[in-house]
A = this chain, B = another copy of it.
Amino acid sequence: MHRKRVTLRDLAEHLNINTSTVSRALSEKSSEMISPDVVKRVRKAAQEMGYKQNAAAYALKVGRTKSIGIIIPDMMNPVFAPIVRGIHSVLNQYGYTAFLAYSENNASAAHSEVEKLISRGVDGIIYAAAFRTDSVVDLCKSHSIPLVLVNRVVDQGNVDTVKVDDSLGIKMAVGHLLDLGHRKIGFIAGPKNISVSYIRLRAFTQTMAEHDLEVEPHRIVEAHSLTEEGGEKAMSVFLGQNPDATAIIASNDLIALGCFTALTQFGYTCPKRISIVGFNNMPYLDWFAIPLTTISIPHFQMGERSAELLLKRIDPESDDHYEEVLLKPKLIIRQSTAPVIRRKKKIAST
């Protein structure tokens, strides 16, 4: 077959015309300054000879690579799969491709990943692993490369974001538990240097306050990370200091899973003894032994919107004011929550 890649010049020589003409004939925008039949002949020859544009040469010349970078915190967390899918789905429509990197929830790792991506010349970055104060946004700004934040946002303003209404989500969760009769509700928070953890926790105390329920400090414990392991440890200390709690809200589905295992270590059952609600509605939750009641976020749509936003920002003639799209969460009721049982007297367990 073709040992060597066929280039514009190859085409030009074959057709006895100049490479500039070939280039223009192939380009959608500038093909109109070329006579129609030349365009046709060029494109036919390109097809036959298997011409593929050399991305490196294009990038070097025009300064755009038609590629972007995606950074997620954790590849093993299944929530990000549909987000990435959403991103891809719009990227494909515009001839863009994506580098995927992950930060392992580590700020400096994220920073160096972004540096690598910038060095690769990506046209923009979708960042799903932000901390509340994050050097990555300054990094991107100083290199004047477009950046959009998904899900996790950053305290400083002036950056495109697509996030979901976390407060509303928590409000729904609390409302649901209150409806079931729960009053002694605990909260397993995530690290408060991550926006979602911070906001969800704040929304929890606020919503409780709105219902005239003050939440005492021991009702809240912070997990060191948004993972199963973090959730398990935090839940252990929570159960130690809250023997009377009947429900807990986890900042995260993964944390909720950790709560489950801590629960069984204490010999408690869910939802009989304690109700649990998570956040994110990660895939395959329906299959779980205790299907987790959780707050669903529109993963795929989040991916789509962020990609659209980024592409818009990459466009040279875009206006320069930042956008912030806010998506609505949804309460998914499963079996991990149940009405609170009021027991006047102690009853021997069977």
Contact = CB atoms under 8 A, between A and B. Distances in A.
A52 B287 contact: no
A348 interface: no
B88 A82 contact: no
Contacts of A52: 115, 118-119
Given A67-B120, A115-B52, A284-B284, A81 B78 contact: yes
Given A287-B257, A288-B288, A65 B56 contact: yes
A125 to B, nearest CB: 13
Given A55-B120, A78-B284, A88 B102 contact: yes
Given A75-B81, A75-B84, A116-B97, A55 B121 contact: yes
A78 B78 CA distance: 7
Q: Interface size class for chain A?
A: 35 or more
A100 B98 contact: yes
Interface of A: 1-3, 5, 52-57, 59-60, 65, 67, 75-76, 78, 81-82, 84-85, 88, 97-102, 115-121, 141-144, 257, 260, 283-284, 287-289, 291
18 contacts: A2-B143, A5-B143, A55-B119, A55-B121, A57-B60, A60-B60, A67-B120, A75-B81, A75-B82, A75-B88, A76-B81, A78-B283, A78-B284, A88-B101, A97-B101, A99-B100, A287-B288, A289-B291
Given A78-B81, A85-B102, 5 more contacts: A56-B60, A84-B100, A88-B101, A97-B117, A257-B287
